[in-house]
Structure 1
Amino acid sequence: MSIDPSPIPTPATGLAPPRWRHVARTRGVLAVVLVELIVAALVAYGLWALRRQTLEGELRMLGSLSAAMAAQADGMLDVADAVLRATRTELADGLLQPGTEAADALLRSRAAALPQFRSLEVVDAQGALLASSQDEPTPPEAAGEREDLVAARATAQARAAPALFVGSPHASAADGQRAIAVTMDWRNKAGAYQGAVVLQAEPDFLDGGFARIAPTPDTSLAIYRRASAPVSDGPGDGQARLLPADVMAGLWADPAPERPRVLALPDGRRRLVAAHRLQRVPLMVVVTRDARVAMADWSDQAWLVGSFAASALAMTLFLTLRNAREEGLRRAAQARQQALQEQLQRARKLEALGTLAGGVAHDFNNILAAVVGYGELARTAAADGSAQARQIDQVMQAGLRGKALVERILSFSRSAPRPHTVLRLQPVVHEVLQMLAASLPARVELMPQLDAPEAAISGDATMVFEATMNLCTNAMQALQAEGGRLVVALSVVDIDTPLALYDRSLAPGRYACLSVADTGPGIAPEVRARLFEPFFTTKGPQHGTGLGLAVVHGAMHDMGGAIDVQSTPGQGARFLLYFPCVDAQPDDAAAPQAALPLGAGQTVLVVDDEPALVALAEEMLAGLGYECFGLGSSTQALAEFQADPGRFDLVLTDELMPGMTGTALAAALHALRPGLPVVLASGYGGPQLEARAAQAGVTVLVRKPLVRAELAQALARALG
């Protein structure tokens, strides 16, 4: 059993209103939560499926739009290719003579059939205009370094097949308006480069009409080249929606760019993208749309459905929890009522037994008074050492045992009230633990946890001592067979609401709570109901009188306290005593002391690194009837002991000293002489002092500063 050292008990099941976290663990609530989780999962799956369908629909739409725009652009370039090839052939065959009226008329007739193109031009190898379809004469244009003409010249010089080249948008020298040049080289019969045939197109000749067929304002189109500026950025403010160069590089590298996709841009935006390569020229048509805008309808639906589902589930869960808690409150009320009835029955039974026991004890005490009184007179008259004196001594011993038994019975029955004084609880408990430590079985570990040095109560110190001793003795007996831990804890607790305990309900207030817990076999349910009955015992007639817990019950009732019992068979038991705290300060004046136990000339080795303390101990011990030998060094003391191990009857040593601690010295002395009584006195030895002292074989452990009475009692216990 894991012992919780805290003296604050957990209320018995059913005796307190259920907490929300306890209600939430009931089967009905868990079933509702499971159903709600399934419903929530289905709703989430439905929303996810709807989102996927919406996204796929948007991507299909963009893919179709991109394919249509690519087909339109390819068709426009097919027308341009046919016109440019026919013109370059006529130039090569000499059928078209640049600079003649016939040449210009032919160019005008061809350009008139191409509404998407402004003009059809012929330029020489240096880029100078030779002929044009425009009616008005055009000024000379130094266009030899224009990229479309550079590409045409490179194609001719490489003796490659003629090909279209679409240039970047530029300002026309003829009218200053922006145009896109679609160019093809022309050569003479020998294949030498002579110049180029150019169609000056409108900037939107490849994406014309997109603004009319675009499904939404946020849908944008752009036409990109592999390694230079876009040919077209579409209608409107398309420049702001152009894809970054690294994104386009990925599309160009993709063997299947036609597959629509969702791309995350470096600025955090997400866009739906569909792309198609053109067939005649290395251009790519890319249609994009903002993913957030595209999924706006789905987002609105998801928020609506999710909010409704969450509200419905939350309301259902709240109503279920409320109903479950109300049911728990009803059961708790019934359990409290039953517990109060059981407490009342136990109280009446104990009261009846106490009255009976008290009456018998009171009458028997009168008889004992006569027996003991006359016995003392007879003993005075008898000669010491005579048979009559021995017989009277036996009678007196029996009478004193009977007197102690009567006092315990009267204490339980409360027929002999004791005067109350204000006292501190912790010193009394500490005294009990000191006495227990000397007789503790080898396999029982005593774990004191006293944390209420200032707790003051109104009561009788002897009653508190007896109650604590009885509980600890019972716990030690429960641990005698298998061993285990005995935890004695003391703390101050504040009770805010009435607390149902074993014998009665504890009113709100401030209490000193003494907890005695063991890891023994626990208490059977049939025994638990009779724990505090006088003369009830499970130990047999040779080991118990059945008055120990009865005395505890009487003492707590006399001091206005309460008792609680917590136990599970096989997992130990825990007794809790609640003492009402008082604000008055205890009278710390020393009570009259009994005669001190004196020594009989035993030799005591005193070891302390403070010479003044060595001298004080020597003087005190001499007054108590001991012979002393004081040393200021532990190593010197060890050497002195090694020289004559049988010289000393007891060793009194400090703990913290240079060279060797008191516990280390005790261990070394026991190695030389096992069984040597050692009293360890320490003002502070660390949190593990008791464990170290026990391991080193220390007989008695006392705390500094020592008074004469404590020293006398400690030495007497060690030598006894």
Structure 2
Amino acid sequence: MGFLPKVLHEKVRIVPFISITFLLLSFLAALGFLSNIGHKMAKQQSPLVDASMEVKLNATMHHLWLEELIQGDSSINAQDVWSYLDASEWYAKAMLFGGKNAEGTYIPLANPELRIEVIETLKKIAALRKAGNDRLNNTNESGIGSQLDQKFDESFNAMIEQADKVETELLSTIARDQKWYDFISITLIVSFSVIAIIILIGFVYFDNRRRSDLAKQLSLIQQVNQAQKMEALGTLVGGIAHDFNNTLAGITGNIYLAKISARDNPDTVQHLTSIENLSFRAASLIQQLLTFARKGIVKMKSFPLTPYIKETLKLVRTGIPENISLNSKLCSQPLPVNGDAAQIHQVLVNLISNAHDAVENVDEPFINIMLESYNVDDGFLARHPDSTAALYAHLSVEDNGHGIPEDQIKHLFEPFYTTKEQGKGTGLGLAMVFGSIKTHNGYVEVESNVDEGSTFHIYIPLTEEAVTLVEKQGKGIVKGHGETILLVDDEKHILSTGKQVLESLGYRVLEASDGIEAIDKFTAHKNVISLIIMDLVMPRFGGVKAMDQIHQIKPDTKVIYSTGYDKKAVLTKTNSINPTVLTKPYNIDELSHAINKQLNA
């Protein structure tokens, strides 16, 4: 299970890396493309600027040398004078049609407006050439200040002005192109930067979500694993409980019979009673395991809490090392509560066990248990606004251990959360405490300081009905009057002992070892059988199915189900409304009252 999240983790991590790498390569390619365009633009436009300057330069040289030639400078060759104007014209044509010389290669202008201006420049050069020829061919009339001289100067100025215009517009066009190039470059850089930032933000966001999802997935896997462990534990405990309780049922039945036989020997009866109490204590422990594994049913009944806590402390005290001072301060009031005694027993055991672990390696360790009546005050109501009771039983367990950091207190009652090192805690103990007390409509509070210790406070509502109910139930055997009971169980020792117990209670007994035999026995004796005591879990044919068929034979047949395992099977599978169920091993007093109640119903 751990491999899959790791693979997903690596795959998710590589996606943004590939994205950013692709983006970077695209960015570099775009920059390279723009750089190439810029280089081409410079390579094309720079010679054109040079050409426009050469047009003016050569025209100027032509103008100067022509003046010198007219003035009679014999060192100047007329052919050289005209070569300058020819060069000016060549550069202008190179701007239109392209050309190549020793200075470089010239690409034709693409801008139509500039091409028109260059054509106009060529016209001005032609006009300058004509004015120069006229002046050179009419030397008598071409002196300085003459009409031909003025026309030549005008043609030269017009040509230079036109060439300046070409150069200015060319530089302006280049500047505009450069601005667009810069704009596109900046836009590209900004766009790629924004995209990169978005990808990074997205990566961080999805990486956080991925981590959260993986954490949830891991938590879910852990919960499933824990649920599977609990299910396996429940199956194991259920199997053990069934066999163990059946054995205890045989033991307690025989103890009851032995007590009858030894009624004249008080010491023997006392010893047998002690064994009987221990047997029922063992049955209570099994019930706790079933509750822990969620295979049992919570039994809410009224009982006095103070004497019960006293008895529980006697059992717990034997498991506490002698170097730990275990102190108790219990009130004299009975503190009647409505609850499940087995769960409250487990709550106290868990809290003392935690305190025991907390005071390890502590000098002069102690655990203090206190039980008192508690009147609700404003502070309590502020902490627990849903509280409806006015009086609570307040049970506290205090230790002088290492304490609990404040940031961990809020997680203490979460299932599977533990502060103990690996292998020393399941994280279920305090969760069970919290759940059990909530079932009793109570509250749990924690006080703790690091290096000073902790105190757990348990509040359970008091009830006025508890003592009255206990007194109403009373004790004592209720005898029968010769009614016939069909006893069904697959355990031979339970059948044997159970028959003797029922006969001692004044009943006639028929026996059946499974559901099929029970149906046959009932069919044969249906007119005399007043009640069936039916085991739930049996080979060949279970108790619920057997009773379904028996009820088809005689619908008003009365039944008491007995089980060493799971009461829920009765509640979910039988068609009976509020069926009577006894959990093995059952107290003979309870059995006699349950039989009497069914027979008189």
The normalised TM-score by structure 1 is 0.27
TM-score using structure 2 length: 0.32
More strand by share: 1
